[in-house]
Amino acid sequence: MSRKWERMVQKNTKVTNKARVKQGKPRLSEAVSDGSVTVRGRSWLMPLVLICVGIFCFIAFYDVYQSDNLYWVTGGSYIALGLFIFWLRRPFLKIGRKELVSRRFGGDKRVEAAQIEEILLQKDAVVISLTTSKAKWVFTKLYHRFDIDSLSQTLKEFAERNEVALRNERAA
């Protein structure tokens, strides 16, 4: 699709969405929902490290570079990046009908139900073992700040629907 056509589609979608909101109808993107559930967490370790590095830059180089503009830009950039990751780039697990989508360090990763070996539900964590690699997706209450109860319930339904092995160690 050409860029001109894409811009036209975006413009018309925006106009249509405004009209639908005024009529009390859902927006076009909401009306075509695929029934997936997204559980969001909160990333806190990397933002904390970046904010500490920014504060370290301000303290360590205060005497030498205080009059230099890059002194303020460097420290402020680390702090701004830490706040950006904390507030906007939140980890998530999107549970669709036949696939799981998660935000990994390198970008969003999608896994079909056939590629999932086992889902392990623990008291404070959920571990998804994959058949395609030795890597495991781990979502924890402490590190990722996920609501493990709602995540476990949704993954139980996903496992039943797609016949994925489920091991529940929450009660033990």
Cα–Cα dist 147/141, whole Å: 7
More reliable by pLDDT, 52 or 132: 52
Q: Which fold has domain 92-168?
A: PH-domain like (2.30.29)
Indicate whether 85 pLDDT > 80.
yes
Cα diameter, the chain:
64
**In the chain, domain spans:** 42-87, 92-168
More reliable by pLDDT, 26 or 172: 26
Band (1; pLDDT cuts 50, 70, 90) = low
Q: What is the pLDDT of residues 134-144, one digit of tens each?
A: 889 999 999 88
Q: What is the pLDDT of residues 33-46, one digit of tens each?
A: 567 888 899 989 99
User: CB neighbours (10 Å) of residue 40?
Assistant: 15
Q: Which of 9-23, 77-91, 107-121, 152-166 has the lowest mean pLDDT?
A: 9-23
Identify each DSSP E strand in the chain by its residue range.
Answer: 37-40, 92-95, 99-104, 107-112, 116-121, 125-130, 136-140, 165-168
Indicate whether 32 pLDDT > 60.
no
Q: What is the pLDDT of residues 101-127, one digit of tens each?
A: 998 877 888 999 999 999 999 989 999
